[in-house]
Amino acid sequence: MPFSVCTILHTVALLVHTTYLVSCRLLGPTLGFLLGTFCLTTYVYPRVDPGFSEGDPRWIGAWWLGYPIIGTLILLFAGPLACFPQRLPKHGTDAHIREKENAKAALAVGESSGDGDGDRADGEEEKPSFRKAFVRLLRNRLFMYNFFSGLFYVFAFMGFGTFMPKYIEYQFRKKGSTSSSYAGTVGTISKALGLLVIIIR
């Protein structure tokens, strides 16, 4: 298969996988809004009957109920993650084998030329410093444009996603649980579908 065809297929596969990954990441906010809906439909004291329904202005939802639920889930997932080692072993991997081969080849070239120490010294001097690499990164227009576009997107999304349930509640006279479910399902599902449409187009 020609190299150009392989590159195109790799780019398309990377785009598809990235889109699916970003779409799956939207499941987290959706589940969070749905959990908020469940908590708001429960009275702040779950074992107490207040004598009025959720539509009453005196109703206070169980705002604290989400913290123990999410905390328990975090502890459950933190256990398996804690079993991973601090650093994965490098011996036997393709990168380690390739590194050893390159080191042997460089050593053979240095011994044949008789100035291996000088080559190593020149190599150490040619290593770019962090400051030079950082400045070169700041001068990369594509990276900076992408960085600022993501930054502005996060600022807009955080404000929109945070206050949209409260806006729906007061603007359309909806209950807190109903506005949270609308913001969680309609908002995030439409974003996920928009990302998936990119693949089809």
pLDDT tens, 156-170? 777 777 788 888 888
User: CA 196 to CA 22: how far, in whole Å?
Assistant: 10
How far, CA to CA in Å, does 121 sit from each of 109, 117, 130, 136, 168?
15, 6, 19, 24, 66
Is-contact 188 30, C-beta < 8 A? yes
Query: Residue 69's pLDDT is what?
Result: 93
Instruction: Record the pTM.
Output: 0.56
pLDDT at 78 over 60: yes
- Residue 13's pLDDT is what? 67
Lowest mean pLDDT among 23-37, 93-107, 117-131, 134-148: 117-131
Does the pLDDT at position 113 exceed 80? no
Comparing 44-48, 87-91, 136-140, 146-150, the range with the smallest average pLDDT is 87-91
What three-state secondary structure class fits 61? strand
User: Measured between alpha carbons, how far is 152 from 148 in angstroms, rounded to an integer?
Assistant: 6
